[in-house]
Amino acid sequence: MKFTVAIDGPAAAGKGTISKAVAADFGFAHLDTGLLYRAVGAKVTDGSEAIAAAEGLTPEDLKRTDLRTMEAGQAASKVAVIPEVRAALVDFQRRFAAQAGGAVLDGRDIGTVICPDAEVKLFVTASAEVRAHRRWLEVGGDEAQVLAEVKERDDRDMNRADAPLKPADDAVLVDTSDLSIEEAVAAAVAAIKAKMA
């Protein structure tokens, strides 16, 4: 059975946590598509290298231990605006989504570009301030600087020419600003079960 759950949203909204929990709950495979861009960004120093890195990306590249840093996130956002990088990673993601047994993919353009026919689309969001505070708790440093970086990344992700971050027309909105992790996961699971019914 093919059943795809597309989960999109901005940085630190909780989509990764929700996606992993949803995948575990339903027994689906999970792909954090942001890791693809982080892995490409971590392998390059300029745009021309990024295209080759994207075309040659392997599952092993996703196991690097430095992919969750702020630096890797910024590098990911920079290579993600390169149309050739995005094109190279689309096939990787679509093959993953089509596997038997169900799949959950989380990212920025899953419901709008990668899997527009996904059975369920969720858009997980939260205020920039809440997301920056969550990221600051993870990485430390100057909280005001983290907020500035979150807003800068949002601007880049939402205003890029190719596959900008936005909810799909038929996505269910899950605002996690005032939700606990358990409440956010429960809302996502309920939305998926409603679509399955």
**What is the pairing mode between strands 4-8 and 120-125?**
parallel
Q: What amino acid is encoded at 129 in this protein?
A: E
Q: Write the secondary structure of 22-70 as one string of H (helix), E (strand) and C (coil).
A: HHHHHCCEEEEHHHHHHHHHHHCCCHHHHHHHHHCCCHHHHHCCCCCCH
151 carries a ligand binding annotation: no
17 carries a ligand binding annotation: yes
9 carries a ligand binding annotation: yes
13 carries a ligand binding annotation: yes
Token readout for 45 is 């120093």
Token readout for 37 is 């861009």
16 carries a ligand binding annotation: yes
10 carries a ligand binding annotation: yes
11 carries a ligand binding annotation: yes
How many helical (H) and strand (E) elements, i.e. helices and strands, does the chain have? 8, 5
The annotated binding site for ATP is made up of: 9-17
The annotated binding site is made up of: 9-17
